[in-house]
Amino acid sequence: MIYLTRREIFRAAHRMFRQDWSDEKNSEVYGKCSNPNWHGHNYILWVTIKGEPSENHGFVMNINILKEIILRKVINKLDHRNMNLDVDFMAGKIATTENLAIAVWNELTPDIEKAGAHLHCVKIEETENNYIEYYG
């Protein structure tokens, strides 16, 4: 079993808050991350797939196919966007990196399976000090 990882970056605005909470409650739980005027990050996404290298071409999966899936299903929707307002697969969810990683996993799985590989891990770094990993 071989694991192949592809890195992509997206720059997005977001805000952590719950609409059913008061501003005080949101500020108490999320601190400055709940600023009503938004803030943002250069998010770094690592997508890891696993499989056997093909005897035919020597790849687990052609990286250009993997890249195309990640761009189409995830990056094009998130890059230079507002995670709360602009992204269909985050609608109605609290914009934590935890929820984002799960949503990205769900977006990517069908196309990666269709391409004959298996999704192993979605890792998202929000800042150089914090990151989330999800293994399904």
To the query of whether residue 126 is one of the catalytic residues in this protein, the response is yes
Tell me the per-residue interface mask from 25 to 64 with a second copy, x by CB under 8 A, - otherwise: ----xxxxx-x-xxxxxx-----x----x---xxxx-xxx
DSSP H/E element including 97: helix 97-114
Tell me the closest approach of the beta carbon of residue 39 to a second copy, in angstroms.
4
Tell me the closest approach of the beta carbon of residue 113 to a second copy, in angstroms.
19
Q: Is 116 in the site for a second copy (CB under 8 A)?
A: no
Active-site hit among 80, 98, 113, 133: 80
Give the span between the Cα atoms of 8 and 43, in whole angstroms. Answer: 9
Which position among 8, 65, 109, 118 is part of the footprint of a second copy (CB under 8 A)?
A: 8
Report DSSP letters for 24-84, one per residue: HHHHHHHGGGG-TT-EEEEEEEEEEEEEPPPTTTS-SS-HHHHHHHHIIIIIHHHTTEETT
Give the span between the Cα atoms of 97 and 126, in whole angstroms. Answer: 7
Which position among 27, 71, 75, 93 is part of the footprint of a second copy (CB under 8 A)?
A: 93
Which position among 3, 91, 110, 113 is part of the footprint of a second copy (CB under 8 A)?
A: 3
Which position among 90, 101, 103, 108 is part of the footprint of a second copy (CB under 8 A)?
A: 101
The torsion angles phi and psi of 124, rounded to 5 degrees, stand at -130, 125
Residues in CB range of 113: below 8 A, 6 or more apart: 119
Give the span between the Cα atoms of 32 and 45, in whole angstroms. Answer: 23
What residue ranges bind a second copy (CB under 8 A)?
1-9, 11-14, 16, 18, 29-33, 35, 37-42, 48, 53, 57-60, 62-64, 79-82, 85-86, 93-96, 98-99, 101-102, 127-135
